[in-house]
Structure 1
Amino acid sequence: MRRAATLLLLPLLALGGCAAEPELTVAPTAAASTTPSPAARSVSGFVNVAATSEQFAMLNAATDLDPVNASYDCVSAEGYADVAEGAQITATNASGDVVAIGTLGAGQYEFESDKMFCQFPFTIADIVLDEKLYGLSVGNVFRGDVQFSEKDMRVGPRLYLG
């Protein structure tokens, strides 16, 4: 009898071992990005405000030196008084979000071709250059942004006013 019970249990055990087990599936995980995010860096450039003929005459009268080779502190022409040493320069991305802010240094008279400018150096620290276009604005908000490519930002943008 014992042998008959064992024979009856064997097929049941065999069927239990063949019962379908729940299938485990593993969802694929998102692949980790292999492209590192760009590091923040500093961007240096210039804001050039066109000088007036009066400023040129004043500079010329103030020195017997060649004004092209002279280096004097300057102030912006009328209408651009807000563009001065210490003024804020703002960098925005293509969406118009502010991404970094810098300040203007002291202005120096500079000559390009036949034009004279009051040139203000600036540095914008901690900007990540990962966009195609950037807007730079300085002073009066009604002037708007001037657009620069990422390459221009890396080389050193020059913003001309006046």
Structure 2
Amino acid sequence: MPSSVPTWPELLGSATRTAIHLEMRDSYAVDYEKGPFAAWRAGFRHDPADRASWWRPWLDLIQETVGRGVIVRRARIVSEPVSEYTRFLYDGTFTNVAAGEQVRWLPRRRASDIPLPGNDFWLIDGRLVRWNHFTGEGASAGGEISEDPAAAKLCADAFEEVWARAIPHDQYTISQ
């Protein structure tokens, strides 16, 4: 196991074929009082036509990764009715899509019989897992890297099953 967790540019920069990401929480480090989530709660929405206002370093990294021919896919397993935070994510997902990510949503009820890893993850080229650890409140508890073939296989198999059942972002609707 590598001793340190690479930065996101290093991790995605190492991808040559695929970078897949599975998210399974209904909320991540929500600060209800300030920041993008609070602004969204107050009614702010990104204007798709005003790319300069929402484009940020993460989206540059995704666009660069996709531009090198790497397929970047993100799947989200969500409880329904969705949480307020999931509505926030949903409203901003067009930015991920604009950068070149493919995004799908899977209602949690449709995931009950899928063997899933215990944590969210990124899987790079089917061999390198970056586990994303979170506290009970959704704050980041750090990342961890694994090159264990069994862990990579678990992640790949779980992701592909989720992906096959999930609904593409442009077809998924949530009730408001």
Fold similarity call, TM over 0.5: no
Relative to total residues, which structure has the larger strand share, 1 or 2?
A: 1
TM score, norm. by length of structure 1: 0.24
TM score, norm. by length of structure 2: 0.22
| Structure with greater Cα Rg | 1
Relative to total residues, which structure has the larger helix share, 1 or 2?
A: 2
